[in-house]
Amino acid sequence: MSTRGVRFAPGGRLRGQFTPPADKSISHRAAILGAMASEPVRIANFLAAADTASTLDAIDILGALVERRDHELVVRGTGLREAREPDAPIDVGNSGTLMRLLAGWLAGQGGGRWTLDGDASIRRRPVDRIAEPLRQMGAEIEARDGRYPPFTVHGASLKGISYEMPVASAQLKSCLLLAGLAADGNTEVVEPAPSRDHTERLLRAAGVTVERDGPQLSVTNCDELVLDRVEVPGDISSAAFMIVAALLVAGSRLEVHGVGVNWTRCGLLRVIERMGGIVLGEVESPEQAAPDREPLSDLDVAAAPLVATEVGPDEVPLLIDELPLVALLGCFADGDTVVRGAGELRVKESDRIAGVVDGLRGLGARIEAHEDGFVVSGTGGLRGGLLDCAGDHRLAMLGAVAGLASREGVEVLDMDAAAVSYPGFVEDLAALAQSGPHLGEAGGKRA
């Protein structure tokens, strides 16, 4: 693994227009549903990144054909129940989404056997949360030490169940919905709080009956998926780093184009609004939500003074990937910013609560960790220093934004980790910051 150090220093406001890379969550799901479909699926604006490359490799191993044509990806799937059974484990790389969604699909392939494995961070991420309900449906799951990858899915004739999820998790929900497509009867999933709903929207677009009654979702088994074309919007989670940089660096003004504004992904924008930040644009509300398509919008962002806020358990699933940025905003806000109910961050690519708290504290922040969150006491800014992201792509990009807004700059170790979701991040940030000399290699490589 490269440990390239890159230094991000203050000195230039952010100005200009910006189109974020394609949405990672939707790209994963579109490719997987394409592999499950009976007819070719065209995917426009598919994300080119390490995580989504793992998805394309995986569906290729499972028998789908993938080709690039006229700026689109075309996936020719195997159908719902005809996935190829490989001789070797399927490598999901760094992608928990890929791992959990594949498990749901493959669990319903009666008589098949598939082993899923990944990198070192994946091997630390428990799978018992998906294994328990899949076993209730009739699948057999064998995991290392009973709960960790690599794990093996023995496909079976599944039966629908009613399952109350212990936490709001889009990956768990999606796993069970995909398994439900091949199950006898209805599969019902009850969410304790809303989570991102890209899987449900894509399934409806593919002709599947997915019904919602309050916190309960239900899906009925089907014979085929038919999904003609998917257009992937810009990723709000990737755009969030540029948005926060523009909020924190004085004199900044940024236009964000073509970003997805699905209400289940826009929790950060609502938090920013409470904190006094300026982000203007049309954002989907729950009442306006389209059942089978993704909304797009343009956003206008400007720097502004911030006040502290609180984020509770019901809001956490709507900005789970942006919580590190909430901590950074809290460093510059007046008062104490509190995040609770975010224990899921402990089992992301890294222990993100520990990574955020240790990383920002090393840059001069007053921040304390709790089991399920953190408290940041705003001091009006950050000193700067060294941040080792330990291979976590979101912590790498967090350090970069912190550097532009800090007094002394930040050197981020292992900046190459950003390629998991955003390969062009450093170049895009440099262009917007209008400060090429302030971004560059720092001190060579670290062991």
Element (H, E) at 7: strand 4-8
Task: Tell me the residue length of the chain.
Answer: 447
Catalytic residue (choose from 23, 197, 235, 321): 321
- Asked if 189 and 176 touch (Cβ cutoff 8 Å), the reply is yes
- 192 membership: H or E segment, kind and range: none
Q: How far is CA 50 from CA 33, 69, 105, 395, 401, in A?
A: 19, 20, 22, 16, 21
Is there a contact between 404 and 245 (Cβ–Cβ < 8 Å)?
A: yes
Instruction: Report the relative pairing of strands 439-445 and 229-231 from DSSP bridges.
Output: unpaired
User: Is 416 annotated in the active site?
Assistant: no
E strand segments, 32-144: 41-44, 65-69, 72-76, 90-91, 113-117, 140-144
Q: Give SS3 for 134.
A: helix
What backbone torsions phi and psi does residue 154 show, to the nearest 5 degrees? -100, 110
CA 392, 395, 401, 403 dihedral sign is negative
Catalytic residue numbers, as ranges: 321
